[in-house]
Amino acid sequence: MNKPVLPMSSLSLKLPTADRKIEDYRLAASRTFPAKLEGTLNRVAFSAAHVVADPLADNDPWLTSAIDWDRTIAFREHVWDLGLGVAEAMDTAQRGMGLDWPTSLELIQRSVNAARAKGNALVFSGAGTDHLAVEDAKSIDDVIRAYEEQIAAVEKAGGRIILMASRALAKLGRSADDYAKVYSRVLSQVREPVIIHWLGDMFDPALAGYWGTADLDKAMDTAVAIINANAANVDGVKVSLLDKQREIDMRRRLDPKVKMYTGDDFNYAELIAGDEQGFSHALLGIFDAIAPAASYALSRLAAGDQAGFHDVLGPTVPLSRHIFKAPTRFYKTGIVFMAYLNGHQDHFTMVGGQESTRSTLHLAELFRLADKAGLLSNPELATRRMKTVLAMRGIEP
């Protein structure tokens, strides 16, 4: 369907263009979405949530992380208020790109406690093998022990598990049998059914050849066989391959008890809407940046208003495709920039100094696309903050 055309506002600013010029950009009139869920949802929807860095910490950002815990947990409460679950300590939280395992575990503990105080709000947390340096992993048994250690720590905190892909397993796993050994052993021990995360190498180059092969058709055969063989201990699988047909094909092959959670930040709207043979639930990094719109759109879908669902969620897709463009692993910068524009944090500083991974042109186009989708919750604040960032990069208002 055609994107809605929003009226213009009185706000404007100067933005750089691809031909090295500066344009006068006038904002559209923003759309307003509820701050809390209205109605019900008929999809399980998680936002993989970012962390808010502490900009006043005396640390070395490339080497040690410093978290503003109050703002980080406040953002999760914002997500829960909207009826969404939180996928905790995942790649959106810069896991493996600035956030180490000890800090991730503290984040998980704090988030699980906050969810409990919120009335048992929905939170699943990432358990992987990232405390085991890839160069120190010598055997498949090393990988299994590393998974067991993190799973035990998350379960001790009272958390549910998202079983993250393992860089160490990607290095050591040579066959489908290697992957079956690891996943079957680990899944046999979990306290409650887990979400399995298949993260493509566009998100993490170290995961190339996951499931023991670079052939994605064979990789899917292996993944489906392992998941279906352990279906009693699998809540669902999150697929982040940015390939909608592969997700649909896999969705149709899963045991009926196993949910498909789309991780496709390029095609999520149509995958969530589904077809006559089924649909995907959601576990998405982009839902961090568009949580109010996502919540409202999903509530419209649950109410049987397909047109309303697409009217709200459809215009967010161009923004998401921009944020997640190659190199995709740097998408976290766009997520945090949106949080800054929308007032969820008072600075554009990231763990690991990752605010530097996207260009000025990239951030300017992000601003345009967010505005066109009606996603700037306070346009005056967002415009002022965009001007501040541009001034720091040599573009005077």
What's the pLDDT tens digit per position in 217-241?
999 999 999 999 999 999 999 999 9
Helices (H), ranges, the chain: 69-81, 101-117, 140-156, 167-172, 176-187, 216-229, 244-253, 268-273, 286-289, 291-302, 306-313, 317-323, 331-341, 360-372, 379-392
What's the pLDDT tens digit per position in 282-339?
999 999 999 999 999 999 999 999 999 999 999 999 999 999 999 999 999 999 999 9
Q: Which of 29, 32, 35, 33 is nearest to 11 (CA)?
A: 29
- Classified by CATH at the fold level, domain 37-357 comes out as TIM Barrel (3.20.20)
Model confidence, pTM: 0.95
In this prediction, residue 396 carries a pLDDT of 84
3 has a pLDDT exceeding 50: no
Tokens standing for residue 60 = 């070395």
2 has a pLDDT exceeding 60: no
Question: Binning pLDDT at 50, 70 and 90, where does residue 29 land?
Answer: confident
Name the β-bridge partners of 259: 236
Q: In 3-state terms, what secondary structure has residue 143? A: helix
The span from the CA of 375 to the CA of 30, in Å, is 7
Question: Binning pLDDT at 50, 70 and 90, where does residue 8 land?
Answer: low
The span from the CA of 110 to the CA of 315, in Å, is 34
